[in-house]
Amino acid sequence: MGGVLQGVIARLGLRRELDDYRVFEAWERIVGPQIARNARPTRLDAKRLVVSVKNAVWMQELSLLREDIRLKLNEWMGREIVSEVFLVLGAPPEGGEAGGGGFKRSRPPIRRR
């Protein structure tokens, strides 16, 4: 069955597109554990990598690093997979497309009277 599926994937020209999703595997290796705890890729739309970022502080930090991240991801893949890193604020759903873990939903602040 696996051979049949691989044959269909090859005939449809999907092998390269499926291979592109290895950027999700490379994320922590490329950005390091500290960034990976606070941001992770959630989607690859064509060559635009959408990255969910935990908070505004990390959003600012990653906005300064996104070109370096893009270049390192492409270097790791050996070809251009990502032409743009697009940052969005907010943790992806638990067990999201990027593999879950790493994000914890914060509790609302305690209000003192």
Lowest mean pLDDT among 4-8, 50-54, 82-86: 4-8
How far is Cα of residue 37 from the mean position of the Cα atoms in its chain? 12
Identify which has the larger pLDDT, 77 or 6. 77
The percent of residues in the chain predicted with pLDDT above 90, rounded, is 50
DSSP conformation letters of 73-95: HHHHHTS---SEEEEEESPPPTT
Identify which has the larger pLDDT, 14 or 47. 47
Domains of the chain are 22-100 (3.30.300.180)
Q: Which of 46, 38, 47, 56 is nearest to 92 (CA)?
A: 38
81-97: average pLDDT? 76
Place 12 in a pLDDT band, splitting at 50, 70 and 90.
Answer: low
